[in-house]
């Protein structure tokens, strides 16, 4: 990619442009006053000197005091200065809208209309005298040139348009799930291309933007606050706009209009469609992550739909409920999971697997993605954002563990024969649960609003990353960080290679189709139609139809428009996100919370025996303090997995981009 160096001179701010115009007006007015009333200026200059040297003024000699008023021409100059500045600001603000093009011509036309309107509204004063001609000449001297006013107005309008584009780009990137540890880099690259001197500071949920004006030593600070979300389809559209602006393909007016169009689109899938997809996701993640059986899948589907209703329907309608959504969801799902898991099968066992139901139902609200963003920010030396997000992720994990404890304890009090099994018997064998991995990745694609043409690449990357992580976990038993690192390394390498090669491959295929294959296909169709028409009997009606078909074919060939080629590299972040979500719900990330919840629930219900519980198939005698410490192992296990994924993703970026990216930021995790 072409390197874009730091500009030698940045665009001046609004204040510097206004001061430049004001200084020109003052200079013209002072020239007019000095040429007409030189003695008055001498007296003013001597008065200024005396005021500067003596702290107080002496009283006047005479008894009458003459008011120190300004002359008629100086008052008119000041009024004209303020009115012209007001007109300048108004025209600049109106011209900064993204739909405006051809700024100079419109500004000139607007200013000419204003001047003509002022002349038309000026009352007639009869025949001019010699003194009126002198006054008109002085006024013409005091006015700035029309060209200077047009140039400064256009400059302010361009500056406002670029600032508005940066604000809207920042809001879109934060709202649709761009990599948080690279947000400041994206904004700095965009500001450098637009020749605007700005600084950016990202804090979770907000971005502080500082626009500097070196000529006046002033700073304009903007605060963008957005609730961070995830929409992979809109993120791709925003990335396309960002790349075209960075590569000077489109202007900021068109880019702002396209961003506004993207942000105004409705969601790709409605929430009533995504609710059953939540159930499918819970049913698909159970077999390969938590050892669920086929008989457990309908119950997992039901619990997943309950989670979808709570998150998509109930939570947006009530701010009070949204604050306790995680606890409420885990309490309800763990209560129902233990209720279904306690149903006997008539042979001394249980009909459903409690641990698989409890873990698969909350797989979509695990804090793995939050901890991953926090680890990436800390690794990128973003100490403020990373620390804030990491503390939130730890507390979030404790909320999940607390909710599971409450739900299982409530059912344990109601049923003294409730199950306490933490493993499933008769799980699906190894080769047969692999198809559930692409199915789970597909549900994640639908839930996160990705485009359909992104789906094949996402599914392939997710499946490859899971295979590497699964077999490396069997090889390096007892160490989750190594398997997570290797799986994330595979995901990152494939996603970054796709972003680096995918755009060029797509452009090459478009060139092949439009330049070589399409003309031959059109020629083949013409020959086939010609052969068919030769065997038909020629009638006046058929001749008319043949001529109309020929003319329509010629018009279609002449109206053919080549598709726009992609510029720069693709979007690796969207391609790897479903694969990362597949990596997170490993049993280690939730087993600690489930076991601690069961142990605490049994102790609360009075079903515990000497405070003994089962942790990872190892029996440990624990007192109350040891039992309470298990809850903190939840956060520790989640952080372990996230750190492993973080290291793998950074290594993959180094492998694919050993020298980094020069022109635009790396849109990857």
pLDDT in tens, 148-177: 677 777 777 888 899 999 999 999 999 998
Q: Which of 213, 101, 86 lies closest to 154, judged by CA?
A: 101
**pLDDT tens, 441-476?**
999 999 998 988 889 999 999 999 999 988 998 888
- Tell whether the model's pLDDT for residue 197 goes beyond 60: yes
Burial class, 490, CB count within 10 angstroms (exposed 0-12 / middle 13-18 / buried 19+): buried
- The DSSP symbol for 283 reads H
**Residues 295, 231: one domain?**
no
Q: Categorize the per-residue pLDDT at 393 as very low, low, confident or very high, splitting at 50, 70 and 90.
A: confident
Q: Which of 88, 650, 588 lies closest to 368, judged by CA?
A: 588
- Tell whether the model's pLDDT for residue 431 goes beyond 60: yes
Degrees (nearest 5) of the Cα angle 100, 103, 108? 130
**pLDDT tens, 526-546?**
777 766 666 555 555 554 555
Q: Tell me, yes or no, whether 387 lies in a domain.
A: yes
Alpha carbon 653 to chain centroid distance? 20
Q: Which of 331, 571, 590, 386 lies closest to 480, judged by CA?
A: 590
Cβ atoms within 10 A of the Cβ of 461, count? Answer: 27
**Residues 220, 334: one domain?**
no
Predicted local confidence at residue 339, as pLDDT: 93
Give the helix, strand, coil percentages of the chain, each rounded to 5. 70, 5, 25
**pLDDT tens, 405-429?**
888 889 988 888 888 887 788 888 8
Predicted local confidence at residue 319, as pLDDT: 84
**Residues 393, 466: one domain?**
yes
In the three-class reduction of DSSP (H, G, I as helix; E, B as strand; rest coil), residue 619 is classed as: strand
- Tell whether the model's pLDDT for residue 208 goes beyond 70: yes
- Tell whether the model's pLDDT for residue 298 goes beyond 90: yes
Predicted local confidence at residue 454, as pLDDT: 85
Give the helix ranges, DSSP H, for 513-623: 518-535, 540-558, 572-583, 587-605
pLDDT, greater one: 566 or 646:
646
Percent of the chain with pLDDT over 70: 61
For the record, the structure tokens of 240 come out as 């396309």
Q: At what angle do helices 252-264 and 146-175 cross, to 10 degrees?
A: 30
Predicted local confidence at residue 201, as pLDDT: 93
Q: Tell me, yes or no, whether 360 lies in a domain.
A: yes
Cβ(368)–Cβ(642) below 8 Å: yes
Q: Tell me, yes or no, whether 393 lies in a domain.
A: yes
**pLDDT tens, 469-506?**
889 988 887 777 888 899 999 999 998 888 877 766 66
Burial class, 631, CB count within 10 angstroms (exposed 0-12 / middle 13-18 / buried 19+): buried
**Residues 222, 338: one domain?**
no
**Residues 217, 292: one domain?**
no
Cβ(488)–Cβ(465) below 8 Å: yes
Cross-strand pairs, 615? 618
Cβ(153)–Cβ(107) below 8 Å: yes
Q: Categorize the per-residue pLDDT at 331 as very low, low, confident or very high, splitting at 50, 70 and 90.
A: very high
Predicted local confidence at residue 628, as pLDDT: 52
Q: Tell me, yes or no, whether 3 lies in a domain.
A: no
Q: Categorize the per-residue pLDDT at 402 as very low, low, confident or very high, splitting at 50, 70 and 90.
A: confident
- Tell whether the model's pLDDT for residue 54 goes beyond 80: no
CA gap 547, 542 in Å, rounded = 9
Q: Tell me, yes or no, whether 12 lies in a domain.
A: no
Cβ(245)–Cβ(165) below 8 Å: yes
Q: Strands 198-203 and 218-225, how do they pair? A: unpaired
Q: Tell me, yes or no, whether 66 lies in a domain.
A: no
Cβ(478)–Cβ(617) below 8 Å: no
Last residue of a domain, one of 220, 252, 284: 252
pLDDT, greater one: 357 or 71:
357
Please count the residues of the chain. Answer: 669
Q: Which of 74, 83, 92 lies closest to 17, judged by CA?
A: 92
- Tell whether the model's pLDDT for residue 302 goes beyond 90: yes
H/E stretch holding 278 reads helix 271-290
CA gap 175, 356 in Å, rounded = 33
The total number of structural domains in the chain stands at 2
- Tell whether the model's pLDDT for residue 394 goes beyond 50: yes
CA gap 202, 386 in Å, rounded = 10
Q: Which of 597, 129, 658, 581 lies closest to 355, judged by CA?
A: 597
Predicted local confidence at residue 555, as pLDDT: 47
In the three-class reduction of DSSP (H, G, I as helix; E, B as strand; rest coil), residue 586 is classed as: coil
Predicted local confidence at residue 597, as pLDDT: 64
**Residues 193, 310: one domain?**
no
Predicted local confidence at residue 26, as pLDDT: 58
Residues 6+ apart with CB under 8 A from 322: 315, 316
pLDDT, greater one: 13 or 312:
312
**Residues 327, 472: one domain?**
yes
Cβ(360)–Cβ(300) below 8 Å: yes
H/E stretch holding 17 reads helix 14-36
pLDDT average, residue stretch 106-120: 62
Cβ(576)–Cβ(495) below 8 Å: yes
Burial class, 417, CB count within 10 angstroms (exposed 0-12 / middle 13-18 / buried 19+): exposed
**Residues 354, 448: one domain?**
yes
**Residues 634, 487: one domain?**
yes
Give the helix ranges, DSSP H, for 310-426: 315-317, 319-323, 325-341, 354-361, 368-379, 383-414
Q: If you average pLDDT over each of 317-326, 558-567, 599-608, which comes out highest?
A: 317-326
Q: Categorize the per-residue pLDDT at 29 as very low, low, confident or very high, splitting at 50, 70 and 90.
A: low
CA gap 213, 196 in Å, rounded = 9
Q: Which of 652, 603, 292 lies closest to 440, judged by CA?
A: 292
For the record, the structure tokens of 658 come out as 């050993």
**pLDDT tens, 214-259?**
777 888 899 999 988 889 999 999 998 998 898 888 889 999 999 9
Alpha carbon 174 to chain centroid distance? 3
CA gap 348, 374 in Å, rounded = 46
**What is the longest distance spanned by two Cα atoms in the chain?**
121
Could you give the C-alpha distances from 466 to 20, 583, 586, 605, in angstroms and in order?
Answer: 62, 7, 10, 39
Q: Tell me, yes or no, whether 193 lies in a domain.
A: yes
Cross-strand pairs, 213? 218
Q: Which domain holds residue 291?
A: 271-498+570-656
**Residues 293, 231: one domain?**
no
For the record, the structure tokens of 183 come out as 């947000």
**Residues 340, 244: one domain?**
no
Q: Strands 206-213 and 218-225, how do they pair? A: antiparallel
Last residue of a domain, one of 252, 283, 303: 252
Q: Categorize the per-residue pLDDT at 285 as very low, low, confident or very high, splitting at 50, 70 and 90.
A: very high
Q: Tell me, yes or no, whether 212 lies in a domain.
A: yes
**Residues 439, 576: one domain?**
yes
Last residue of a domain, one of 252, 279, 307: 252
- The DSSP symbol for 344 reads B
Give the helix ranges, DSSP H, for 122-231: 130-142, 146-175, 183-193
- Tell whether the model's pLDDT for residue 94 goes beyond 70: no
């Amino acid at each position: 990619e072409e390197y874009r160096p730091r500009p030698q001179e940045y665009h001046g701010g609004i204040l510097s442009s206004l001061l430049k115009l004001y200084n020109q007006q003052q200079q013209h007015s002072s020239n007019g006053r000095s040429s007409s009333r030189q003695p008055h200026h001498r007296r003013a200059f001597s008065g200024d000197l005396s005021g500067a040297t003596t702290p107080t003024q002496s009283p006047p000699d005479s008894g009458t005091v003459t008011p120190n008023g300004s002359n008629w021409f100086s008052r008119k100059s000041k009024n004209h200065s303020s009115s012209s500045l007001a007109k300048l600001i108004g025209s600049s603000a109106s011209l900064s809208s993204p739909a405006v093009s051809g700024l100079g011509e419109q500004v000139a036309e607007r200013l000419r209309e204003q001047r003509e309107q002022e002349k038309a509204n000026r009352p007639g004063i009869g025949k001019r005298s010699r003194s009126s001609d002198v006054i008109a000449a002085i006024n013409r001297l005091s006015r700035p040139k029309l060209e200077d006013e047009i140039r400064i107005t256009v400059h302010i309008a361009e500056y406002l348009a670029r600032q508005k584009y940066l604000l809207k780009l920042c809001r879109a990137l934060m709202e649709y799930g761009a990599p948080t540890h690279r947000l400041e880099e994206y904004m700095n690259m965009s500001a450098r291309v637009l020749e605007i001197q700005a600084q950016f500071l990202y804090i979770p949920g907000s971005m502080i933007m500082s626009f500097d004006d070196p000529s006046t030593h002033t700073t304009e600070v903007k605060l963008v606050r957005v609730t961070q979300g995830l929409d992979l389809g809109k993120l791709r559209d925003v990335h396309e706009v960002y790349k075209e602006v960075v590569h000077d393909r489109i202007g900021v007016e068109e880019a702002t209009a396209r961003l506004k169009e993207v942000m105004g689109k409705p969601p790709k899938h409605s929430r009533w469609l995504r609710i059953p997809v939540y159930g499918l996701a819970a049913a698909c993640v159970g077999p390969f992550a938590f050892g669920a059986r086929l008989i457990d899948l309908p119950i997992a589907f039901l619990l997943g739909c309950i989670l979808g209703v709570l998150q998509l329907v109930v939570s947006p309608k009530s701010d009070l409920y949204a604050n306790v959504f995680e606890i409420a969801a885990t309490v309800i799902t763990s209560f129902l999971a233990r209720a279904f898991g306690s149903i006997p099968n008539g042979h001394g066992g249980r009909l459903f697997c409690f641990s698989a139901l409890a873990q698969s139902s909350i797989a979509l609200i695990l804090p793995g993605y939050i901890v991953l963003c926090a680890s990436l920010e800390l690794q990128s030396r973003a100490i403020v954002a990373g620390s804030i997000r990491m503390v939130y992720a730890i507390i979030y994990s404790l909320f999940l563990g607390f909710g599971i404890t409450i739900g299982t304890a409530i059912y344990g009090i109601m049923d003294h024969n409730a199950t306490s099994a933490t493993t499933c018997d008769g799980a699906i064998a190894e080769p047969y649960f692999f198809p559930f991995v692409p199915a789970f990745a597909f549900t994640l694609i639908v839930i996160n609003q990705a485009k359909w043409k992104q789906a094949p690449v996402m599914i392939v990357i997710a499946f490859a990353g899971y295979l590497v992580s699964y077999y490396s976990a069997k090889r390096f038993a007892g160490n989750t960080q190594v398997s997570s690192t290797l799986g994330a390394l595979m995901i990152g390498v494939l996603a970054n290679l796709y972003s680096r090669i995918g755009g060029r491959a797509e452009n090459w295929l478009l060139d092949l189709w439009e330049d070589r294959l399409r003309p031959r296909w059109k020629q083949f169709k013409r020959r086939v139609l010609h052969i068919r028409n030769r065997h038909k009997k020629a009638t006046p009606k058929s001749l008319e139809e043949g001529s109309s078909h020929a003319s329509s074919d010629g018009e279609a060939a002449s109206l053919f428009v080549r598709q726009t080629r992609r510029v720069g590299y693709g979007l690796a972040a969207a391609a790897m996100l479903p694969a990362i979500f597949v990596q997170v719900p490993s049993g280690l990330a939730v087993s600690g919370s489930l076991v601690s919840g069961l142990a605490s629930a049994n102790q609360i219900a009075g079903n515990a025996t000497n405070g003994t519980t089962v942790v990872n198939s190892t029996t440990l005698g624990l007192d109350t303090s040891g039992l309470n410490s298990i809850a903190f192992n939840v956060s520790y296990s989640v952080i372990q997995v996230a750190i492993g994924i973080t290291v793998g993703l950074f290594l993959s970026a180094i492998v694919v981009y050993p020298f980094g990216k020069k022109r635009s930021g790396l849109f990857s995790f």
